[in-house]
Amino acid sequence: MNETARKPRVAGFALFTFVLTGCFVALGLWQLQRRTAKHDLVAALTERLAEAPVALPPPSHWAALDPARDEFRRINFTAIYVALPDAMVYSSGSAVRKDASGPGTWAFLPARLSTGETIVIDAGFVENTMQDRSVEDRAVKKLVTGQPVALTGYLRFPEAPGWMTPSPNRDKRLWFVRDHLTIAAALGWGAVAPFYIDLEQPAPENNIPRPGPLDVHLKDDHLQYAITWFALAGAVLIAFVVWARGRRPA
């Protein structure tokens, strides 16, 4: 191949190499940014979870609550569980509950404040009941006594379904994402607070459903991913240099 034809090929491959390298480096930097953000999130959540519980904000303040600032704050209040159909939300495991590492469901049910507002309570974890509606029905009936209950838990906000989230099974009242607003609308719970409560205590005598304290143990593989992307960037550059040297005329 003559020199005139060789130069455009080398230049084109060089451009492709640098673009690909730039993409890999950008992905590595993005993973480092995510790692920093993850560490900041863990620090903030750890601080909130360690704080003493405070009174539930009044309804007039609910619209101003912000997930970035208020999620996982510990609160306490008194409410009465309402005799309405409950919901199960499937989980393959929890990133904030070490005692819920396997498959099961979260029991969601409505509770009414003395002022009349309805709050959705995630009353706890029920193991391996995805196909057994009767287990949770019996457990929830024991919670609905018609008497006020002093509750302590954590402010949580609804999750958005992903594109691979399965559709709910309405016959079993089974959902696959913690979107209490959608659940409340489907089951006729009426207007509910914009947040739900992840219950810490009290626990029922048989511990079904099982509430409990939250403990942040979010997965952090971002540094490993960043190193992988940077290594790929280096490998691409080395491959280009070796290829370019091999094309030099003898």
Angle at the Cα of 180 from the Cα atoms of 37 and 195, rounded to 5 degrees: 60
Picking from 12, 2, 6, 4, the residue whose alpha carbon sits closest to that of residue 240 is 12
pTM of the model: 0.72
Res 45: pLDDT = 73
Task: Please choose, from the candidates 72, 88, 103, the residue with its C-alpha nearest in 3D space to the C-alpha of residue 198.
Answer: 72
Looking at residue 7, what is its pLDDT? 59
Q: Per residue of the chain (250 residues), what is the pLDDT tens digit?
A: 555 555 557 777 788 888 888 898 898 888 888 777 676 667 777 777 778 899 999 999 999 999 888 988 999 999 999 999 999 999 887 777 777 777 889 999 999 999 999 999 999 998 875 556 666 667 777 888 889 999 999 999 999 887 888 899 988 899 999 999 999 999 999 999 999 999 999 988 888 899 988 877 666 677 888 889 889 888 888 888 887 777 666 5
Distance (Å, rounded) from C-alpha 134 to C-alpha 64? 39
pLDDT at 135: 67
**CATH topology assigned to domain 73-201:** OB fold (Dihydrolipoamide Acetyltransferase, E2P) (2.40.50)
pLDDT (0 to 100) of residue 214: 82
Domain ranges of the chain: 3-43+220-246, 73-201
- Is residue 158 within 8 A of residue 180, CB to CB? The reply is yes
